[in-house]
Structure 1
Amino acid sequence: MEQSEASGVRSVQRAMDILSLLTEDRPVVTIRDIVEGTGLAKTTVIRLVQTLERTGLLWATTGGYLAGPALWRWAHLARSSWEMPPELTRAMRDLSARHRETVNLYGARDLTRICLAQQESPQPLRHVVRIGDELPLWGGASAKVLLRDADEKRLRRIVRTAPDGAEHLPTLQAWIAEAADRGYAVSHGEREAGLSAVAVPIEGRSGGIVAALTLSGPTVRFGESEVASFARDLVDVGRQLSERGFDHPLGA
């Protein structure tokens, strides 16, 4: 029984790996693309692709396979569940207009943070993360506020994914404590050289952290005075959004 369950879980994971190869930049994948992208045997790939096609999760074309119509239904359900309140959308748009930097909303999931909403900077040189993208939690301004209430066991799991591994734990703990004390977090080149961010927590009805609101962009535009201005504005907006609450899973 356990062997059968493990095989089933493995098949589901492989199917998800195949679907994850589809991106905005690569909306169509071939069998060869899938074999190279997953490392699976061609016979295994063909069997999985046939199953995904039968369920409508993939759609065969002359050029390869694209996202199937069943995903459209799931996307509609996800949008209905996760659509952001208009107040948040306006707040993010206004923040980006005032400071001319990209505004993101991140939520934490296990060892990663996920981009839930974004308002791009109007400047040619800007930082952009696609909605749905997952980023690590071992660094970055948003990670520091999202992990405020995380226990040491979870932090130890997170630092295993960091470049310096377990040695990063004291640094991460210090960052989290500093962010909790100040009410906001700042990062410069922690995850990617030349990239800076300022983040504030958004709390749910129970008082726990449900999201992080960030301003991010090139480090050259994140000097001391700019960071102070960004932080003041973000803290004020974050407080308003926390008081407003969310009418979807973030509101739990």
Structure 2
Amino acid sequence: MDAIQSKVESADQTPTSERVLMVLRMVAEYGRPVSASELVHASGLNKSTMYRLLASLRRWGFVMESDALYAPGPACLQMALNFDAVTLLSLHANDAMIDLRDTTQETVAVTVVMQQEAVCISMLEPRQSLRCSFEKGRSLPLYRGATAKCLLAHLPLPARQHIAKTHISNMFEREVYENELLKIVQQGYACTESEVDDGVWGVSVPVLSPNQQLLGALTLMAPIIRTQNKHQRLIEETLNAAKRIQASLNATFTQASPAFHHQS
């Protein structure tokens, strides 16, 4: 109890807008189901405020209640699983990314799907850096470009169709787009020119779990002028790097990690 109280600011020190986060952190740090009265005592909040904050956390799935005791809820678990999956993918991709960058002298990135967007979680650049929309931590819509199309093509069909509808209202144009996504799945990679950034060519290869669920995508990007007569070689290099990442993951996890089962 004392350890928890020393870590968490008192109610007087915590802005009103942040108190719900203070309570969530306290619930998480107890390490066991905790009563509202214990939380009231530890936080200095009055009982009515505590119950109001706990009700909000329950409504959003961040805490669950059983026999008047509170514990972290399913939303906390999902966040932890997603964090684990992203961290593991970054670690297992690193060596292959370095070799791919050094071999090709081009920009290499790994992206994942979060909240229906492509989020770059790792990026390596050669000495001649590339001006492009991607950077670590930045998100882009799942629509244009090799990375977005590669990720979207490997999502479950309902999610893929829903996202496509949000970007393309015309039914015939959407059918053409969805056929392009099917081709990406069949050939094992996506390849585009100047769809997101003018003058940039890109190839993106999916990284899949042992049970063939999408983990992320490995992408190589380069100025079009530097890729002339080299497309096939760059595609093969990227495909091989993605295979190395998957082999590394498979060697570490003979059975798919729970984090990967929940990655979407």
1:243 aligns with 2:247: yes
Cα shift at 1:186: 0.2
The percent of aligned pairs where both chains have the same amino acid is 21
Q: Which moves more between the two structures, 194-203 or 78-87? A: 78-87
Distance 2:108 2:244 in 1: 16
Change in Cα spacing, 1:251 to 1:214, as seen in structure 2 (3 Å) is same
Change over 3 Å in CA distance of 1:229–1:249 after alignment to 2: farther
Q: For 2:17, give the aligned amino acid.
A: T
Per the alignment, residue 201 of structure 1 pairs with 206
Matched pairs, number:
185
* Partner Cα distance (2:144, 2:104) in 1: 23
1:221 aligns with 2:226: yes
TM-score normalised by length of structure 1: 0.61
Q: Which amino acid aligns with 1:179?
A: I
Is the Cα–Cα contact under 8 Å of residues 92 and 119 in structure 1 kept in the other structure?
yes
Structure 1 residues 126-205: aligned runs within 5 Å = 126-127=131-132, 129-162=134-167, 165-167=169-171, 168-205=173-210
Q: Is the 8 A contact 1:210 1:250 kept in 2?
A: no
Q: Distance in 2 between matches of 1:54 and 1:146?
A: 34
For the aligned residue pairs, the C-alpha RMSD in angstroms reads 3.3
**Do the aligned partners of 2:207 and 2:245 also contact (CA within 8 Å) in 1?**
yes
CA distance in 1, matches of 2:240, 2:184: 16
**Contact 2:85/2:260, CA 8 A, preserved across alignment:** no
Report the AA paired with residue 184 of structure 2.
A
Question: Partner residue of 1:230?
Answer: 234
- Whether the 8 Å contact between 1:245 and 1:251 is mirrored in structure 2 is no
Q: Which residue of structure 1 aligns with residue 217 of structure 2? A: 212
When Rg is computed on C-alpha atoms for both structures, the one with the higher figure is: 2
The AA in structure 2 aligned to 1:218 is P
Structure 2 unaligned spans of 5+: 1-14, 23-78
Give the whole-Å Cα distance in 2 for the aligned partners of 1:199 and 1:214: 4
Name the TM-score, length of structure 2 as normaliser: 0.58
| CA distance in structure 2 between the partners assigned to 1:124 and 1:146 by the alignment | 24
The answer as to 2:104 corresponding to 1:99 is yes
Q: Secondary structure at the match of 1:206?
A: coil
Distance (Å, rounded) in 2 between the aligned partners of 1:149 and 1:100? 28
Could you tell me which of 119, 126, 129 is aligned with 1:121?
126
Q: CA 1:79/1:239 → structure 2, altered by over 3 Å: closer, same or farther?
A: closer
Q: Deviations over 1:181-221 (max 9, x none)?
A: 22211011222322221011111021122111000122222
Whether the 8 Å contact between 2:155 and 2:214 is mirrored in structure 1 is no
Distance 1:55 1:186, change over 3 A: same
Partner Cα separation in structure 2 for residue 150 and residue 80 of structure 1: 16
Q: What's the secondary structure of 1:108's corresponding residue? A: strand
Q: Distance in 2 between matches of 1:182 and 1:79?
A: 29
Q: Distance in 2 between matches of 1:242 and 1:83?
A: 11
Structure 2 distance, partners of 1:107, 1:81, is 8
Once residues 79 and 156 of structure 1 are traced to their aligned partners in structure 2, the CA distance between those partners, rounded to angstroms, is 27
Summarize the Cα distance change of 1:81–1:184 in structure 2 as closer, same or farther, 3 Å threshold: closer
How far 1:127 moved relative to its partner? 3.3
Whether the aligned pair in 2 keeps the contact of 1:155 and 1:169 (CA below 8 Å) is no
Cα offsets for 1:132-151 (capped at 9, x unmatched): 21111112112232233435
Would you say the 8 A contact 1:120–1:128 is kept in 2? no
Q: Structure 2 vs 1, CA of residues 249 and 106 (structure 1 numbering), >3 Å: closer, same or farther?
A: farther
Aligned counterparts of 2:194 and 2:219: Cα–Cα separation in 1: 15
Q: Is the 8 A contact 1:138 1:161 kept in 2?
A: no
